[in-house]
Structure 1
Amino acid sequence: MAQLTPQSPLYNFPLPEIEAWLKKMGCDQNPQELNCWYVKKGNWEAEITLDIEDICVSYLNAGADGSDIKRAFPYSLSRQDIEDAVFSGP
């Protein structure tokens, strides 16, 4: 099997590696809903959900009116692209 790199599509990574990556990025797993994660970085916080076709991110209270900003990133994107997009904030 080919070596997985940050440029590899996220769907090539086994779930334990995705979970380890999220932990490395400072995310905490929800013990009741194992596909849900929470992260707080400086002036923003987000919930990350590992859905069937996408990684869904809700930046909490990030909209101008205090609403959540929701984004979805397909697993076909590289891990690095998703990391850059999600962890740069809303």
Structure 2
Amino acid sequence: VFLGSACSLVRTSKRSQWLDLSRLKKDIQPWQERHSTEYMTHTPLGSLNSIGYLWHARRARATAARFEKGIDRDFEHVLSMTPLN
């Protein structure tokens, strides 16, 4: 599906030759290049953001339900050290 639609956009209708790629690169407007970079960064950052949201929401629910115990600090080495001046 994708290859057929891409080929129909690149191939000219009057000739059977392919379009020159250097001409296509020159025809790109600055706003088109800016929008393409925005779209390329928006999706990965948005997916990381939503995964982080789900992670923290799950941890908050586990903490509220008292499933998360945390780290046992009773036998930590720092607690037996003398305090600094």
TM-score interval (norm. to shorter): under 0.3
From the CA coordinates, give the structure whose radius of gyration is larger: 2
- TM-score by structure 1 length? 0.20
| Structure with higher RCO (Cα < 8 A, 6+ apart) | 1
Q: Which has the higher helix share?
A: 2
- TM-score by structure 2 length? 0.20
Q: Which has the higher strand share?
A: 1
